[in-house]
Structure 1
């Protein structure tokens, strides 16, 4: 790179750097925000929601039985059968159905009847014997023979118990007004019962909680107890096991009931994408401001907008536009309007493309050249590709270092290292943490720079939790129960 380009690129990459002091300040602020969220029913924009999930037991890996999971995550509906083998292993059978477009804007009756019919078809195919008890006329036998189902409903809900939650609003293209304010578990169960399907919806599940439970089941505790589950993918979130006494906002009668059952902990869905929405400690570049301005939830999920796969490519795209406006890159284009349309269009530069830029060691970065032409119709020089690679690495490094903050904070909050030579296991899922080159390694480097230090980092094991949304949802149905 010539001196002018190098100076500009160095200036930008330095703006994305996080020092040790900033990391440790963020860890402290995270736990302050977590405590506030645990104490306030409505945390507002200022703190994380810290949602009680009413999941009160963590799997040991010895559980046995057959459970179902259903996942309405968007335009597809998945139904799974999970056979727990009692030895930290499971067998999984699943089917996937596309939600017809007209049902996304129809009525509760039509949508939930459709979902129930897909569950019924799955049970007939894989567990047809369960229908025999249903048809026997013996009500007690029919009830005892029902399959338990964990329902992952990936839309904003206010959860009031393990098996109930009211819809706050629809997202992802759904718009069915008569569902808002209704208990989605009751809606699904009513249509399952109408169709005489031998299934009991036992839990309303969250994908982050599912990641925690799935890793707890499969982890074999060789690397310590799993008390934390995280997702770093299109979005980011985490769940952990909290003491009942610390969840101040739980109603007193609920706490009394839990303690009467000798229940001491409950899993909390942190919704940490909203950490530091007020930007007290999070780093802010002008590119972060631009990305926030064009997002659908301006001023919210400020942590997520610096960490998750949905936003990393958009940050890079804004950097490239800025460098063009300064006459540093793509100088063959006189005006912004002359740039390739795809480079001027938000959200078309993907984190998948960045993962290729990150590790490209081909001659003259030819692989990067081809990807930029394919993705953005953008021709580049070798110098421009070197600049793009350096900026990509800076953005990804900042994301991975920020990802270390909530993990470290919650490990400290749970006092997870208390005891002699304790090891701690963290279950993670999501495309960024699983597939972005070096993300976990960079995250671990940052953890070593936090309050837990290098010694704590070595005792922390970060492992991919496969099939968390399905296996974890099924395991939710076992909370405070046995098969």
Structure 2
């Protein structure tokens, strides 16, 4: 079926704005490296810069670690508590429970309300799965160790302390900003007499890195090179990698000397790359990006994330559809904006999961997309409208994946990880977008080959799903010395 020429021309123009060229990629990579080096130095403390947060994790797992450890993960709208039994052969056994975060606690008046809830859920898990061990763990030395994955920007000052910089992902508890997250959780565990010690604070990307490093090799042929990056592409996006301690200029010299005296050479850095290029010096920007930033919970921040992560892809499409309606090009059965289906007018109602169905729809007259849009937005569409919606969906997802390759290329080049005869590199990834969105990893690889990493370099990079990164990885953090 052919599409009305005026509509197709307008859509082609939008798709052109969403297209990431090789020039944009390489400018982005160069700027990422520059931003990373500035963040590691951080003398000017630019709040809009790339944070490059030291995690105080100085040990990368080998896969031979053993023991039972606890982990808790506040990654978004759910709170997960788990215990991890490390078998010492790259494998592990995990027990876990997931609890939804009540909506009112995401914007509670006090941080105590949220952290009391988290502590209670940890206590319930310990009593259910480790009751006997807990009864024997009353002293501080014998408490069960817990790694806490807290997937929000934190200024980490040691392995087991860090203050919240800002909320993301729909959370907004004002009195929590600037407070020590570990102390908040530990104080409520102690008040409830739960025998658990929060021994490590971990970002989910750090957990992904450690989890992948531990489990790589569990399957024959699965380990191809050292694990360099742990990355999340889900509701949000972020990455972590081990950096030479000498390059982390923001660390006190006496602390660096102490680490080196212990034989430590690297520390894992939480890049917080969702905040890459907040000043928008190289990132492509459309009117829809500007509109979405204005209605987001953190205007002016996480500009990279707002183009790449799953939370925003559906919202970009929704804004475009409303714009095309207002221009008189689609959905003209509705006489006014107020007559449009309520869900189409409501921010964040269109999820990236719906886009994943539309992306690969090859049904007759795109009937599968028709059903998906009806279910998600109560939005009837014509075949012509579904054709252009699919075109836009493909362009939005491709832009996200192509931009997502920028930090990969930047870290590969910055660390010189591919230098050497046929050297290979392993990257662990987690998150619904990279795991389930059709072709996302393939598009990441396509873009990576277009950067200075090149075709030959891209073939020596192995991108693998890191299962249970936020749980297993947080537990592994407690073993860092």
Aligned position for 1:13: 15
Shift of 1:112: 4.7
- Matched residue count: 473
Shift of 1:123: 2.9
Aligned position for 2:380: 379
Aligned position for 1:138: none
Shift of 1:97: 4.1
Aligned position for 1:139: none
Aligned position for 1:419: 420
Of 214, 218, 222, 1:217 maps to 214
- What root-mean-square deviation, in Å, do the aligned CA atoms of Structure 1 and Structure 2 show? 2.3
- Residues of 2 paired with 1:99 and 1:3: CA distance? 48
- Residues of 1 paired with 2:339 and 2:451: CA distance? 45
CA contact (8 A) 2:240 2:268 kept: yes
CA contact (8 A) 1:45 1:300 kept: no
TM-score, length-scaled by structure 2: 0.92
1:25-80 deviation line (CA, Å, top 9, x unaligned) = 11000010111111116642442111111011111111111111122345643321
1:122 maps to 2:119: no
- Residues of 2 paired with 1:465 and 1:427: CA distance? 5
**Can you give the 5+ residue segments of structure 2 that lack an aligned partner in the other structure?**
none
Aligned position for 1:205: 202
Aligned position for 1:3: 5
Give the 5 Å matches for 1:422-433. Answer: 422-433=423-434
- Residues of 1 paired with 2:78 and 2:4: CA distance? 50
Of 148, 153, 176, 2:150 maps to 153
CA contact (8 A) 2:227 2:426 kept: yes
Give the 5 Å matches for 1:208-287. Answer: 208-220=205-217, 222-287=223-288
Shift of 1:191: 4.6
1:166-197 deviation line (CA, Å, top 9, x unaligned) = 344566556473x5544332343345455554
Give the 5 Å matches for 1:125-140. Answer: 125-131=128-134, 133-134=136-137
1:204-251 deviation line (CA, Å, top 9, x unaligned) = 111111111111111126211111011111111111110111111111
- Residues of 1 paired with 2:112 and 2:351: CA distance? 38
Aligned position for 1:457: 458
- Residues of 2 paired with 1:129 and 1:184: CA distance? 28
TM-score, length-scaled by structure 1: 0.91
Aligned position for 2:479: 478
Shift of 1:22: 1.4
1:185 maps to 2:182: yes
- Residues of 2 paired with 1:247 and 1:151: CA distance? 24
Larger Rg: 1
- Residues of 2 paired with 1:18 and 1:222: CA distance? 32
Change (3 A) 1:31 1:363: same
1:249-293 deviation line (CA, Å, top 9, x unaligned) = 111222122112111111111111111111111111222222222
